Amino acid sequence: MEKEGNKVYFTDEKGQTTVLNILFTYDNKERNKEYVFFYSEEEPDNIIVGYLGDNGEILDIYDDEEYDELEDVLAHYEKDQEKKEG
C-alpha cells in the first residue's frame, strides 16, 4: 500500500492495483500516528482506516481501543459534513 496525494494504491500478489480515495487524515499526537480514512468509488459508504508507517505505507489497526476512538473520529467528521451540507 502506498499513499500518494489524495489516493491510496494497493497492489495484490497478482500485480493488480486498486486505487482508493482519501476521505481525510487524522493525527493522534499521543500515539504519534497519522491515520488515513479512505474509500473506493464503487463503495463510497464503506470507509476503511489505517495508519501511516515509517515508510509511508498504510498499516492495519489491531487494537480495539484505538479502533473505537477512530470510529468516534469518523462519526464526528460525518456530523460536521452534514452540518456543512445542510
Tens of pLDDT, residue by residue, the chain (86 residues): 677 788 888 888 898 888 899 999 999 999 999 999 999 889 999 999 999 888 878 899 999 999 999 999 999 999 999 998 87
The pTM score is 0.83
Contact 20, 40 (CB under 8 A): yes
Residue ranges per structural domain of the chain:
2-85
Contact 56, 36 (CB under 8 A): no
Nearest Cα residue to 10 out of 34, 38, 44, 46: 38
Angle at 74 between CA 63 and CA 21, to 5 degrees: 100
What is the C-alpha separation between 73 and 59, in angstroms, rounded?
18
